Structure 1
């Protein structure tokens, strides 16, 4: 209840309403006339400063004796429309400028070739002067430019600071990976053996499996609740590569390391994304992935700890994923699915890849739609009457149209309820896609607050009448010393080169955002 004070009974005199403490949609107010007071229905919702002048129409309503004693039902509050925002406005200026510089170089026919040559030299050099970890000046330059654009940090404090900043921008979390890689020589690659006995085995455990396990365990500990950790088996070296290539179980020491990593991830509830790799070892990775999914994805239906990665550009992916879904349905575990377009176009045999980009796009969108609906479709086919298992989904895509399609489907009535879905892009790339997700999440949260629906926001589609689907936006980011990250940075540079149209689109988006900020600063636009 609130009080209103009439300064005079004459309709010519103003009536002031005290609305201090006024709750939205109070059903009645009190009008004071000198020492007396009268109860009147409030036919309008009052939103005002502590004291406001009541209009003549409102005054007539408030002082109309015929309305005394009547308490009409209150009209519903119409929520104000959510504020629109420029997606890239969530980025700090430093990120916009770094992104603009990176994409400008990557889309330049003049600047890109020498830049790639220099990065290739730095990534594979044995000269101390060209090693960023041993050359302070080189490290300072790289860490403030390319490293800052794509990587999280060199130590725990820097990594946590980067993750916190991404979450302040509005990202749900990160997909965190350890950048250090085991690089085999050409002769080692050609002459892969089991390496599980004698001095060679000890060397593999000491120099390859041990560092990989320690780095991955540290990565799991760095991740926070809601984050993911990416795990690349080939980083464990020769024993891993030999076993994967020949579809053998993990060797003894490697199995112990994987078990320890998975146990820690399950204990901390940090899902592991087993990365896809070249076709030569992918079948072995699939075998290991299913083995660990059976073990760790059984206890909490609908929540996966272990995810496999499926590349939509491979013609065989729908049938492979379909068989894995059937296995999960038959054995009763949740299948963790990370869906990407594909990352080994330059090394996988061309005939096993879709002939056109349009075919890859259709495969990706069709698989994503089936997973979100939890229904077989034209692309992802199952046996007639076969059940579709519970799935947890991570969509990795830099394609804006695919992301929008997935979001629209997720927010529709066709989406399967209680299915985990995260959407991610590489840190430093496709920010126009990532920031649209962040902006959409902010708008949905704002709509939730303004509509004042019960139940709060939810990340689970179909959770109830009051739930609002809020997009879960992630950035894939690696950590490690500047030198350890050079090979990762080189791959990002080549990826930008190979996706020229997308890189130019990102560059143009950054120019538009920079122009928008200038206009806002000058007060001539929004």
Structure 2
């Protein structure tokens, strides 16, 4: 049965065909129940014909409710609570959120850095990002997916591409490597430490990226295409070499030590990104290697995502390399011009598609281990039901290599109640945070994009509920 039409019976049995209205991704927007046209020009077949609603008993629904934020908030400092209180105030309703988005560009950088940057960004330089990693370790989060926030998807900034490549490689050596090695040296089981990831944004690694990705197979753009491939390869080669070096020192390690991650772009550019990923997979994820060094991103709110991934699976199996996957719901709901044609018709359809695909990949990894064509998976989601589905699947019997190659992830500063619950109440160790970092002006731009793209999610997770939870946590502390 193909991945496109497969409706996961295991997801239904475990009760996680989610109908939650919480965050659609790490990095996506919470929307109303129907967020695009109910009659898209492109039919959705990824969820089959099984109804989404009424799949669970009322007791199962109650058990699946996302955890309260109070217990997590009790662990924070007064300054952190104050900063979160500010977030709660500006997200009280749509008016205050829209006003914050309009005013944000005029707020001084030093004020943003003092008030909120530490909640959502790793810092301005490698030293600050290392400190961020140490703080995450204290919370039980062993590693990070680092993202240098400089990007130029519209091709108007005239950014220094060589600087980005050098700084990205520098962050591997000065942040991820010491962060990982320190933990490996003291770990009872070296597989309990999640890999360190580097996010590579194609729009930041070549001049005029939109045209390059749109014309990825066009002979007239071969020089620019090769420049993008070479820049991505330069970083991924560092990752690959470190993996091979450390595998000799820690031969019992069954997951990568480090992973290069190709981020997704808007739909019209994504075909070029898929081609880029394939080239890197062939080079850095050979079947002969016990671990992968590169993963790509699939946005499962796209109607063709399951079929696209099935096609990639068959191609990788035939051509002798492993796929590496970061699975998200989607990041460009507000900016896709043809969203009624390319995006799932409902939130529920995206949820079912997402849960079906992660179930398929995890089951394959558990059954085949290091022989699986799915070499590695990051379940990148703020959705509690999806994270619990992955967690419960990993509790079942299966290959240890398969278990160690599934990692859960959320954005820094978002879904922290989910992260806290997974670690504290379910013993999850394979968990990371996506940590943006870089020059203050660029991280300010990143924060604005988060408000714009994740505004509904921020408002749903924060606002008055956040303020109430902060008050409860303060009274609980003083009691």
Residue 307 to residue 287, structure 1, CA distance change in 2 (3 Å):
same
Which has the higher mean CA deviation after the structures are superposed, 339-348 or 89-98?
A: 89-98
Q: Deviations over 1:383-421 (max 9, x none)?
A: xxxx962431001101111111111111123x5542201
1:355-374 to 2 correspondences below 5 Å: 355-374=345-364
Is the Cα contact below 8 Å between 2:216 and 2:272 reproduced in 1? yes
1:128-143 to 2 correspondences below 5 Å: 138-143=108-113
The alignment status of 1:212 with 2:172, answered yes or no, reads no
Tell me by how many angstroms 1:89 deviates.
4.4
Q: Distance in 1 between matches of 2:74 and 2:320?
A: 44
Is the Cα contact below 8 Å between 1:371 and 1:391 reproduced in 2? no
Tell me by how many angstroms 1:245 deviates.
0.7
Tell me by how many angstroms 1:498 deviates.
2.5
Is the Cα contact below 8 Å between 1:325 and 1:388 reproduced in 2? no
> Secondary structure in 2 aligned to 1:345?
coil
The alignment status of 1:489 with 2:473, answered yes or no, reads no
Residue 369 to residue 104, structure 1, CA distance change in 2 (3 Å):
farther
Q: Distance in 2 between matches of 1:104 and 1:227?
A: 34
1:88-167 to 2 correspondences below 5 Å: 88-119=73-104, 121-122=105-106, 138-167=108-137
Tell me by how many angstroms 1:362 deviates.
0.4
The alignment yields a C-alpha RMSD, in angstroms, of 2.7
| Alignment correspondent of 1:268 | 242
> Secondary structure in 2 aligned to 1:433?
helix
> Secondary structure in 1 aligned to 2:379?
strand
Q: Provide the TM-score with structure 1 as the length reference.
A: 0.64
Q: Deviations over 1:249-274 (max 9, x none)?
A: 55344333222211112223320110
The alignment status of 1:424 with 2:381, answered yes or no, reads no
> Secondary structure in 1 aligned to 2:94?
coil
Residue 266 to residue 316, structure 1, CA distance change in 2 (3 Å):
same
> Secondary structure in 1 aligned to 2:441?
coil
Tell me by how many angstroms 1:109 deviates.
3.1
> Secondary structure in 2 aligned to 1:251?
helix
Q: 2:303 aligns with which of 283, 308, 315?
A: 315
Is the Cα contact below 8 Å between 2:202 and 2:209 reproduced in 1? yes
Q: Deviations over 1:165-191 (max 9, x none)?
A: 111111021111001122646xx69xx
Aligned residues: 366
> Secondary structure in 1 aligned to 2:335?
coil
| Alignment correspondent of 2:472 | 515
Tell me by how many angstroms 1:289 deviates.
0.5
Q: Distance in 2 between matches of 1:401 and 1:338?
A: 17
Residue 483 to residue 314, structure 1, CA distance change in 2 (3 Å):
same
Is the Cα contact below 8 Å between 1:496 and 1:503 reproduced in 2? no
Tell me by how many angstroms 1:512 deviates.
2.9
> Secondary structure in 1 aligned to 2:230?
helix
Is the Cα contact below 8 Å between 1:272 and 1:306 reproduced in 2? yes
Structure 1 alignment gaps of length 5 or more: 1-84, 123-129, 131-137, 190-203, 377-386, 445-469
Structure (1 or 2) with the greater helix fraction: 2
| Alignment correspondent of 1:234 | 203
Q: Deviations over 1:293-320 (max 9, x none)?
A: 1111126655221101000100000011
Tell me by how many angstroms 1:157 deviates.
1.2
Q: Distance in 2 between matches of 1:370 and 1:507?
A: 38
Q: Provide the TM-score with structure 2 as the length reference.
A: 0.70
| Alignment correspondent of 2:331 | 343
Q: Which has the larger radius of gyration?
A: 1
Q: Deviations over 1:38-81 (max 9, x none)?
A: xxxxxxxxxxxxxxxxxxxxxxxxxxxxxxxxxxxxxxxxxxxx
The alignment status of 1:175 with 2:145, answered yes or no, reads yes
1:348-427 to 2 correspondences below 5 Å: 348=336, 349-350=338-339, 351-374=341-364, 389-413=373-397, 417-419=400-402, 420-427=405-412
Q: Distance in 1 between matches of 2:464 and 2:312?
A: 39
> Secondary structure in 2 aligned to 1:223?
helix
Is the Cα contact below 8 Å between 1:99 and 1:507 reproduced in 2? no
Residue 346 to residue 109, structure 1, CA distance change in 2 (3 Å):
closer
1:6-45 to 2 correspondences below 5 Å: none
Q: Distance in 2 between matches of 1:268 and 1:343?
A: 31
| Alignment correspondent of 1:381 | none
Q: Distance in 2 between matches of 1:326 and 1:103?
A: 47
Is the Cα contact below 8 Å between 2:85 and 2:470 reproduced in 1? no
Is the Cα contact below 8 Å between 2:327 and 2:378 reproduced in 1? yes
Residue 183 to residue 94, structure 1, CA distance change in 2 (3 Å):
same
Is the Cα contact below 8 Å between 1:142 and 1:482 reproduced in 2? no
Q: 2:316 aligns with which of 311, 319, 328?
A: 328
Q: Distance in 2 between matches of 1:427 and 1:113?
A: 22
Is the Cα contact below 8 Å between 1:182 and 1:208 reproduced in 2? no
Q: Deviations over 1:186-223 (max 9, x none)?
A: xx69xxxxxxxxxxxxxx7xx44223322322332332
Which has the higher mean CA deviation after the structures are superposed, 92-101 or 349-358?
A: 92-101
Tell me by how many angstroms 1:501 deviates.
6.4
Residue 478 to residue 169, structure 1, CA distance change in 2 (3 Å):
same
Q: Distance in 1 between matches of 2:149 and 2:295?
A: 19
Shift >6 Å, 4+ stretches? none
